[in-house]
Amino acid sequence: MRVRNPGARHVVALVSLCGLAAAGCGHLGGGGGSDDTIDIGALVYQTGPLAQKGATNNLTMAADDINAAGGVDGRKIKIKFYDIGGLTPQQGRTAAQRALADKPDALIGPSVSAQTNAFLGLLPKAEVPLINVSAQRESDPGQPQGNPWTFRIYHRVDRMAEAISRVMAEQLKAKNVVVTHSTDDTSTHVKDDVVKDLKAKQVKVMKIASYTPEATDLTNAALATRGADAVVALGYPQPLGLMVKQMRANGIKSPIVFDPGAEAGVKLLSPSDLTNTSMVAACRPQATQGQDPVAKKFMDAYTSKYPGSYVNGYYYEAVQLIAQGMRNSKGEGGAKLREGLAAIKGFKGICGESSADADQNFIHDYKVVKLDGGKETLGGIVSGLTGAY
């Protein structure tokens, strides 16, 4: 069509814009998916050196499992992935903006707290709840006190620290402890809380050894652990693996307790390096499958469908929780879905039983995962964590 009159051209453009806007605004206030689907935006790293294939697989399988069972009151789960592409806060915000432009019912991700914090301010206006899979402190903006649209499935730093210090004091009966940590934000905050809690439990912290996450040699930190009854090791997987290797290579055999950051690092260690080591984690179906039939069923299906793929139960369970929230909200998105998520109590998932607390944390008991010989076994449960010490 050729439009001769410039004024008419403006009218056509305006009408077109209005039409597009109307088409895109079928649902206002979150939950813009079609009536047939529950749309979840997944903010994950899909390309480059940070690519999280395991997270993608866990999310995909959760949706497949729900849909195969008939969906949520007949509605299918549809996950759309938004590649974050890197570690900067701006990249996290950009991915969230792209996701929110598609008006999803809920968001999941990302795993870096600074990226999560970068877009939390967008959620109230969009009225889209987020299942936050990054570790955060109680004072971080990711906490629901500051933003009621966030729910956290991953660790709150104070509870993780409390679980670690209880393992040191109650299980290992350690009297003299060395705490090692990389200097990233989360590890540093966990270290602060672990040290505080160990002191409260009358456990002596002999040394605190820190190192940069990019370090390629950790001989110094490894040597600092000499003479300790037990060692707390906090950090990213690669440096954690490196530190344990260098401890063992220097003849240091002390027991080591890792935070969940070690999940991927464990794969980098030989069975002999892993002797006398354990990890605390809120979600570890690999270790709990011997006791928990839900975890067992998941592990059998996951390893069969994605052999060799990294298991990240938090992502799988995040989708299941959104589905449960949607059931609670009778299929309504936005504020109703938020209330539905907050109402979840005693949900039995692959991470064990979880309930949303008053701060919208999905609270799990912590599992002590023994790693001796490279084989994961359940070494106990730490329950009743309060984060108050």
Partner 1 sequence: MDRFIPLLFAGFSTGAVYALVASGIVLVHKASGAVNFAQGDLLTLGAFVYLAFTGAMPPMAAVGLTIVVLFLAGGAIERIVFVPLRDQPRLTVAVATFGIALAIQAGLTVWQGSDPQSVPSAFGHGSVDVFGTPLPVLSLWTILITAIVFAGMYALFQFTQIGRMVRALAADREVAVLYGVPASGLNFLTFGLSGALAALGGVLLGPSIAISPMMGFSIVLFVFAAVTIGGFDSMGGVAASAVVLGVAQQLLTGYVSSAYTNAYPFLVMLALLLVRPTGLARPIAAERF
- Per DSSP, helices labelled H in the chain are 6-24, 53-68, 89-101, 113-119, 123-126, 157-166, 185-200, 219-223, 237-249, 285-288, 293-305, 313-328, 334-342
List for the chain the helix, strand, coil content (%; round to 5). 45, 20, 35
Residue list 309-338, contact with partner 1 (CB under 8 A): 310
Residue 161: closest CA among 237, 283, 257, 255: 257
- Which 40-69 residues touch partner 1, going by CB under 8 A? 48-51, 53
Handedness of CA 131, 366, 355, 161 (dihedral sign): negative
Stretch that binds partner 1, among 22-30, 75-83, 220-228, 348-356 (CB under 8 A): 220-228
Instruction: By CB under 8 A, tell whether 245 contacts partner 1.
Output: yes
Full DSSP string of 128-177 = --EEE-S-B-TTSTTSTTT-TTEEE-S-BHHHHHHHHHHIIIIIS--SEE
Listed ranges 58-66, 90-98, 243-251, 285-293: which one lies at the site for partner 1 (CB under 8 A):
243-251
| Number of residues near partner 1 (by CB under 8 A) | 37
Q: Which is nearer to partner 1, 170 or 214 (CB)?
A: 214
Question: Which residue, 122 or 264, is less far from partner 1 as judged by CB?
Answer: 264
In the list 57, 94, 136, 246, the residue contacting partner 1 (rule: CB under 8 A) is 246
Question: Would you count residue 183 as binding partner 1 (CB under 8 A)?
Answer: yes
Q: Could you tell me the smallest distance in angstroms from the CB atom of residue 274 to partner 1?
A: 11
Give the residue among 57, 43, 182 at the shortest CA–CA distance from 111.
43
- Position 307 contacts partner 1 (CB under 8 A): no
Place of tokens 């009297």: 175
Among 241, 261, 333, 340, binds partner 1 (CB under 8 A): 241
**Residue 209 lies near partner 1 (rule: CB under 8 A):** yes
Identity of residue 167: V
State the residue for tokens 């006398």: 276
Residue 307 beta carbon to partner 1: minimum distance, rounded to whole angstroms: 14
Torsion angle of C-alpha atoms 156, 158, 160, 164, degrees rounded to 10: 180
**CB-nearer residue toward partner 1: 132 or 225:** 225
Question: Does 232 participate in binding partner 1 (rule CB under 8 A)?
Answer: no
Q: Which residues contact 207 (CB under 8 A, 6 or more apart)?
A: 178, 179, 224, 225, 228
Cβ nearer to partner 1, comparing 268 with 381: 268
Cβ at position 287, least distance to partner 1 in Å: 20
Q: Applying CB under 8 A, which residues contact partner 1?
A: 48-51, 53, 183, 209-212, 214-217, 219-221, 223, 226, 237-238, 241-242, 245-246, 248-251, 264-265, 267-270, 272, 310
